[in-house]
Amino acid sequence: MRFQVIRQEIDVRPIQARLLERRRSKLAYIRVLSFPDGAADRLERATARLVKLGARGAILDLRDNPGGLLSQAVDSVSVYLSEGIVCRTDGAHEEDRSYSVTGDASYPDIPLVVLVNGGSASAAEIVAAALHENGRAKLVGDRTFGKASVQSVEPLSNGGALKLTTAKYVTPRGVDLSASGVRPKVKALDDPLTRRDEALATARQTALTLVRS
């Protein structure tokens, strides 16, 4: 028996969003699974939809997000932050560079909580650190993975390519993420033996406190 397999691109949506309601308080819950091309636009649209439904605060869930494009990390931070540096690069053989927000934030004032864990890596860590260090969001969860390498691809004469790690990303304050990851001050861990999402419950309570303050 023979089967014909056809290759094609499958669009896996990187954003899952819903409204959380509790005691007449509404929060936007946005789970970002990765940062592929177009993720920031989807993040902005999801936030807009939930704010229109009455959300007064937002939870950005980056747990188990392995990262993605740096450009999408910068644009995602720019949805919520109107001014500031997202990250910098630091390398022995590469010129240092700073990446700043676009300055066109759609929601610069909505109370914001970012939820992370040990599976949050790369671009997800950049987003979390940028929003936190610029005083834009509260961090909740557990220490992130600690992956912040900048890689360059050099074409070879035989048609192949050589990928080299040439620099590292550091936070706006100069923290090397590869050494320590991002460490939330509000610790929250899930109990694998329960159906309840304890970390999300802590993030929700933190967001409600911000909304009421």
d(CA 103, CA 164): 32
199 is a domain residue? yes
Q: For 61-74, what is the mean pLDDT?
A: 95
DSSP string, 67-123: -B-HHHHHHHHHHH-SSSEEEEEEETTEEEEEEE--S--S-SSS-EEEEE-TT--TH
**Residue 96: is its pLDDT beyond 90?**
no
Domain assignment present for residue 71? The answer is yes
Catalytic residue among 78, 122, 138, 168: 122
**Chain mean pLDDT for the chain:** 92
Domain extent for 177: 15-212
5 in any annotated domain: no
Q: How far apart are CA 87 and CA 129, in angstroms?
A: 8
Residue 2 lies in a domain: no
CATH (domain of 53) = 3.90.226.10
Is 164's pLDDT higher than 90? no
Q: Tell me how far apart the alpha carbons of residues 58 and 136 are, in angstroms, rounded to a whole number.
A: 12
Query: Would residue 26 show up in a list of annotated catalytic residues for this protein?
Result: no
Q: What is the pLDDT of residue 89?
A: 86
Phi/psi for 98 (5° steps) reads -110, 140
Is 185 noted as a catalytic residue in this protein?
no
Tell me the per-residue pLDDT of 73-84, one tens digit each, with 9 for 90 and over.
999 999 999 999
Residue 95 covered by a domain:
yes
Q: Is the pLDDT of residue 129 over 90?
A: yes
Which tokens is 114 given? 């970012």
The per-residue pLDDT for 148 is 80
Q: Which of 47, 128, 59, 115 shows the shortest CA–CA distance to 87? A: 128
Catalytic pick among 147, 149, 152, 157: 147
Number of domains in the chain: 1
What's the confidence (pLDDT) of residue 12?
Answer: 60
Q: Is residue 185 part of a domain?
A: yes
Contact 45, 69 (CB under 8 A): no
